[in-house]
Amino acid sequence: MICIAAANAGATSQDLKTGYLVGATPKFQQIALFIGAIVSSVVIGWTVKILDTPSSALAATGVHHAIGETYSAPQATLMATLIKGILSFNLDWQFVLVGVFVAIVLELCGVKSLSFAVGTYLPLSTTLPIAIGGLLRGLADRWAKKNKLPEEEEDLRKGNLFATGLVAGGALFGVIVAILTVFFESGMKSVNAEHWFTGKLGEGGYHVLGVAFFVMMAFILYKVATGKKKTL
């Protein structure tokens, strides 16, 4: 209860502060929050229901739950494991206690335990791009400090906004592709170019091509983050 109250208080204060900065009023902010909560609940519930519907190909292999088996969901899987263990009274508490003491040691050493924990349970394919993004952020901050940019513009830098768009776009497109795969499985397979590239470049060449596209995207992000603003 204390955790939920603190989270709601923090979220409310941030909302009111943001609304004050843009000239909104608490009344219309509350109306917008109601609309956002209702619409997001309907959309998220419908999306989870669709993604948990196995396709014909999955049904043939005996897979009955697409989420967690076809579509990776490490955080949701972790939460589900904890909840099931607690409700069934068979959770391995010794591992939980070990994690608690590891977090205490990390905090005493000046390391953020939350970041360490996220990097521990997420797969390397997820954490490595995050680490590279952090490196790009560090290089961009170094460039900004060298050019003596105003600190108040830090959150509104082009690099931050571009990176935010990448996160939002990747998440939205991933959900769209998953939904299209459920409804139009054969059509999505027909436009999938993975087999063509694999046949031309080989399995290793296909992976190298993916790395090359990622490097190109990282280079574009860095150039956007370090680009000077145009003055009118």
Q: What is the residue-level pLDDT of the chain in tens, covering all 232 positions? A: 888 888 888 888 888 888 888 888 888 888 888 898 898 888 888 877 777 665 544 455 454 555 555 566 666 777 777 788 888 888 788 888 888 899 999 899 988 888 788 777 777 877 888 888 888 888 888 887 887 766 655 566 778 888 888 888 888 888 788 778 777 777 777 788 888 888 888 888 888 888 999 999 999 988 888 876 655 4
pLDDT of residue 104: 92
Model pTM score: 0.61
Bridge partners for 71 per DSSP: 67
